[in-house]
Amino acid sequence: MRHVCVLGSTGSIGVNTLQVVRAHPQLFQVKALTAHSNVEVLAQQCVEFKPDLAVVGSASAAQKLQDLLCAANIKTNVLYGSEALVSASTLTSVDTAMYRDWETDRKSTRLNSSHLKLSRMPSSA
């Protein structure tokens, strides 16, 4: 089983990644989800996938997410900021991180962290 971190889980790459996870729960377990500011969608994803960690961009977004998760009785740890983003992708329980590589504008890139060997998936552009 792969233990997955999805960086940008509310964007198109993240949503598509979670569709694959949803279709193959025997193969994948979500350990961390991140989003910059789309707190409502991230909260829904946390309710469904119950990750250990969720990361957002700001303190106010983190408070809003924490409130939504508490109301849903979800125990996901909520952090914010760039250091938290690094923490999410380098959790010892994570072996695969999905994200969009904006520098090369690839549609999908996979980061295998055992610990932090970078491998790129072919672009479908």
pLDDT tens string 8-37 = 999 988 999 999 999 999 999 999 999 999
Q: Which residues pair with 112 in a beta bridge?
A: 96, 117
Would 124 be classed as within a structural domain?
no
Is residue 78 a part of any domain in this protein?
yes
Please state whether the peptide bond connecting residue 115 to the residue before it is cis, i.e. omega within 30 degrees of 0: yes
Residue at 58 is within a domain: yes
What's the residue count for the chain?
125
CATH number at 57 reads 3.40.50.720
Structural domain contains residue 57: yes
Domain-located, residue 97: yes
Whole-number Å distance between alpha carbons of 63 and 98? 25
Report if residue 22 sits inside a domain: yes
- Those residues whose C-beta lies under 8 Å from the C-beta of residue 120, and which sit 6 or more positions away, are 101, 104, 106, 109, 110
How many structural domains does the chain have?
Answer: 1
Check pLDDT > 90 for residue 122.
no
In a domain, 111, yes or no: yes
| Terminal-to-terminal C-alpha distance of the chain | 29
Instruction: Say if pTM beats, i.e. exceeds, 0.85.
Output: no
Domain residues for 112? Answer: 2-119
DSSP state of 100: -
* 116 has a pLDDT exceeding 80: no
* 43 in a structural domain: yes
For position 119, what pLDDT does the model report?
A: 32
CB neighbourhood size of 60 (10 A): 12
Distance CA 57, CA 84 (A): 9
